[in-house]
Structure 1
């Protein structure tokens, strides 16, 4: 059973959240941004979307995989009641708080920017991810505890055999392909508040747990075959970029998505599995930053888009404003005000920065 700390997973989660911020900022510069509730630049940068379409097929599934892995690490030190109590504090409280205090902020900025009357209907916005994760925890925790506390030798041997083959981890794509064929989503990348996003997330969450549960054999496989997975993913992306205007049938995107994810896990395992003080800090900051980033992004867009500067400079300025604003809120307010910390998924009392490799540095165990 895998017991070592996994700093690479922490790093990949932090990087994925950083890419999520840039992805959402790129939407502002697309001509269809306002149709999905984003403030829209009058000077679009449609070329950005070719690169964003590479990220879009794996960024959200990847976070679901990592969240499933986090439950594995959490179960090692907790019973069922303790896990549910912790996940309620970490996920449910920020989710409910966000419904009433965070999601309305960017809605109001949007309405103010376009001169619309201010009104808000209860909506999770970007926090839909947290709602999904909490449901997955409720549904799958009994099965996870069964596997952890009363292991089934035959199941583990079979899983190990599958994960030891380069085709094995990728073969799980058949479940994602089946999901697409059954639900037939109009747009594969439309994850938020759709049944497609819900069941895709459920599969990724479950298999993320199984990847870590299978032990080191999975990591050895993705390490050894990382270039194969990355090559397949890149070939798929280039084919759809050159011949299909970045589009492929959903089942093709499901396979490409998992190729990217497996390759990323392999490279992360080789190069990122090391502690650092920066990782400790960013791991703690990532969750609060995720929660507040949309409100800060909308404020930045509303202030910067009217400026008479080139679109590229506006894009860079919105990125800088969003990153700076999120970390100023985190560093100056969220992490320092005791009653705010639980509302953003943090422990109530702040503790001194711990040395790399100690304490809660392996934040994957605590992230939703």
Structure 2
């Protein structure tokens, strides 16, 4: 039987992944192609930022899908399938709809103002596409996950546990992602948002995330034992990709690198971050609404800073500070304190039960 203890490391992974997402989005504004994907792009580019961006880009989004799948397992600890769907509708679907019609048009207005375009109301998923995907995965997998959770000693769960907990079981997961890429043929591989590639990659990661927790202690002991191997393989493949293949890297190498980064992050987090803290409690709740609103403050910061005649590196720091301070300030003084906003941003209305918050937040992005 899988342990039911709280997993603070998973909360930390989720918080760190969303923090990296914000930094990555800030960095896009300093790339010449940023305007092509709807960002405010700086006339002063910082090309060397692409090196760390390239390292992050093949695993930062898949990691969030894995964590979201893990969260469903925890949510099923004390819910039936109807309760799960009801809770996920309130915490994922409602914020997605609110963001679609309110949040996204707001940052579009900033974008239009910066480029001196006619103001138009433009609702859409934009960066919130992730929430739409996650909610659909919950609908698709709830019957299977509920069955597997209720029959953890059954043949299906035992087979998954036996496979995933063995080092060679990693090859099964890698094979699933390789098959997806060979069928969909994405180019570039890192184009996840609003694509079939992003949808099916997320579907696979969501499933395996659930299976990781279902597999219990044996899986986590295995990845901790092999953590340095996963990290070494990922590092070597990154160097090979950057120095030799560049944009023409074979998909099986991309998938292997991505999964090894993810497994190493999970392993090191389990080994060193599985402990409670006041900072984690606060950040675990704040991460979700900050993900939803961050594009507004990023675009406002870009609009204000990009016109300053200062070094591009200082501009990057200033935009980063503006984005993070703006997001945390709006969360602390508006979202966190106003009941309606808590509901619209997917937070628990009653925030007094903080002890349950870390586990339940795992199920969101």
Q: Please report the TM-score for the alignment, with normalisation by the length of structure 1.
A: 0.96
1:118, distance to aligned residue in structure 2 (A): 1.2
Q: 1:39 to 1:246 in 2, by over 3 A?
A: same
Contact 1:241 1:247 in 2 (8 A): no
Equivalences for residues 104-183 of structure 1 within 5 A: 104-151=105-152, 153-183=154-184
CA–CA distance in 2 between the matches of 1:287 and 1:181?
33
Contact 1:53 1:246 in 2 (8 A): no
Q: Please report the TM-score for the alignment, with normalisation by the length of structure 2.
A: 0.97
Query: Which residue in the other structure is 1:15 paired with?
Result: 16
CA–CA distance in 1 between the matches of 2:359 and 2:149?
20
CA–CA distance in 1 between the matches of 2:31 and 2:362?
36
Instruction: Give unpaired runs (5+ residues) of structure 2.
Output: none
Equivalences for residues 180-329 of structure 1 within 5 A: 180-245=181-246, 248-329=249-330
Q: 1:8 to 1:246 in 2, by over 3 A?
A: farther
Write the deviation string for residues 10-68 of structure 1: whole angstroms up to 9, x where unpaired: 00110000000000000000011101110011110011011100000000000000000
Contact 1:284 1:363 in 2 (8 A): no
CA–CA distance in 1 between the matches of 2:329 and 2:360?
21
Query: Which residue in the other structure is 1:47 paired with?
Result: 48
1:123, distance to aligned residue in structure 2 (A): 1.2
Over aligned residue pairs, what C-alpha RMSD do you find? Answer: 1.4
Contact 2:18 2:287 in 1 (8 A): yes
Contact 2:178 2:252 in 1 (8 A): yes
Write the deviation string for residues 163-182 of structure 1: whole angstroms up to 9, x where unpaired: 23222124311010000000
1:113, distance to aligned residue in structure 2 (A): 0.4
Query: Which runs of structure 1 show a deviation greater than 6 angstroms over 4 or more consecutive aligned residues?
Result: none
Write the deviation string for residues 213-269 of structure 1: whole angstroms up to 9, x where unpaired: 011111001110001111111110010111123652333211211010011111001
1:285, distance to aligned residue in structure 2 (A): 0.3
Contact 2:34 2:41 in 1 (8 A): yes
Query: Which residue in the other structure is 2:31 paired with?
Result: 30
CA–CA distance in 2 between the matches of 1:51 and 1:196?
23
Contact 1:92 1:130 in 2 (8 A): yes
Instruction: Give unpaired runs (5+ residues) of structure 1.
Output: none
Query: Which residue in the other structure is 1:334 paired with?
Result: 335
1:129, distance to aligned residue in structure 2 (A): 0.2
Aligned length: 364
Q: Is 1:76 equivalent to 2:77 in the alignment?
A: yes
Describe the SS at the equivalent of 1:47.
helix
The range that moved more, 171-180 or 239-248, is 239-248
Q: Is 1:367 equivalent to 2:360 in the alignment?
A: no
CA–CA distance in 2 between the matches of 1:287 and 1:46?
30
1:366, distance to aligned residue in structure 2 (A): 4.4
Contact 1:57 1:189 in 2 (8 A): yes
Q: 1:194 to 1:362 in 2, by over 3 A?
A: same
CA–CA distance in 2 between the matches of 1:13 and 1:108?
29
Query: Which residue in the other structure is 1:90 paired with?
Result: 91
CA–CA distance in 1 between the matches of 2:212 and 2:358?
21
CA–CA distance in 1 between the matches of 2:319 and 2:122?
27
The range that moved more, 237-246 or 83-92, is 237-246
CA–CA distance in 1 between the matches of 2:106 and 2:165?
48
Write the deviation string for residues 85-127 of structure 1: whole angstroms up to 9, x where unpaired: 1000000000000011101111111111011111133311100
Contact 1:33 1:40 in 2 (8 A): yes
Contact 1:181 1:251 in 2 (8 A): no
CA–CA distance in 1 between the matches of 2:165 and 2:332?
43
